[in-house]
Amino acid sequence: MTRTHHILLLRHGQTDANAAGTLQGHQPTPLNLTGIRQANLLAARLAGFSPPVGAIVSSDLPRAAETASPIASACGLSIQFDPAWRERSFGLLEGKPVGDKKLWDVASGEIDIPGAEPSADLRKRIHDALLAIPKNYPDVQTVAVVTHGGALRSILKMLADGVLPSTRGETPSHNLPVIPNCSILHLLARAYPDGFRWKIDAVNDVSHLREMM
C-alpha cells in the first residue's frame, strides 16, 4: 500500500517588516508581538494535528526559527534547521518598501535583478528541499516545515505548472494568492514508481488565527 505523507508548509509569523510592507530576504528580522502570538496559536493547532506531527524542519532565518520554537515545544520535538528553506535573497532591495509593481514582481519571483538570487535558483532550491522531505523522513507521516512566502509561492507555481506532478484529478490554480503569516499550506505526497505525486489539501489555512481577526 502506498503511504501518504502529510507536509505542512508554514509561513513564519509577522515581523515589523511584514507590517510595514518591506522586502526582508535574508535580513535577520525577528517576530513582532503579533507574530509571537500567531506562532503560539499555530503551535497549539499543530499540537492536536492528526496524524501527529513527527518532525519539524525550519529555515534558519530568525523569524522562521522563532516561529518553529513554540511548535517544537508543543509537539515535543527538536527542530532540524535547513537553509534551503530560506526566503529568496533580494540583494540591495532588502529593506525597501514593496510600493510598486516592479518590487512586487521581484518579491514574487517574477523577475530577476542584479544581486538577487535568480528566480530559477530559488525554484530549484525549494523543489529539491520539498522532494527531500518524504525521502528524509520515510517513516514520519506528518512533517511541519517553517518557511517563507517566496518559498510557498514557488511551490504553488510548480504545482500549477506541473513541475510537481499532481495526483489524478487535481488541477491547481495559476492564480497565486497572497500568503498570510502563520498560514498552513497542507500538501499530500504519495510515492509512485515514477516519483512522488502531490495533492493540495489546504491553502492559506488560518483558522487557528480566528481570534486575532
- Identify the CA nearest to 46 among candidates 188, 168, 208, 156: 208
Residue 192: how many other CB atoms lie within 10 Å: 10
Please give the grid coordinates belonging to residue 107: 518579491
> 26 catalytic, yes or no?
no
Strand order in the sheet with 184-192: 79-81, 55-58, 142-147, 4-11, 184-192, 195-205
**Catalytic residue from among 6, 66, 87, 148:** 87
Closest CA to 145 of 157, 127, 133: 133
Dihedral sign from CA coordinates of 96, 97, 98, 103: negative
| Dihedral sign from CA coordinates of 142, 46, 59, 180 | positive
Residue (of 207, 158, 198, 151) closest to 179 by Cα position: 151
Of the CA atoms within 13 Å of residue 21, those in its CB half-sphere come to: 8
Which distant-in-sequence residues (6+ apart) come within 8 Å of 175 by Cβ? none
- Which entry of 5, 6, 12, 148 is annotated as an active-site residue? 12
Residues with catalytic function: 12, 87
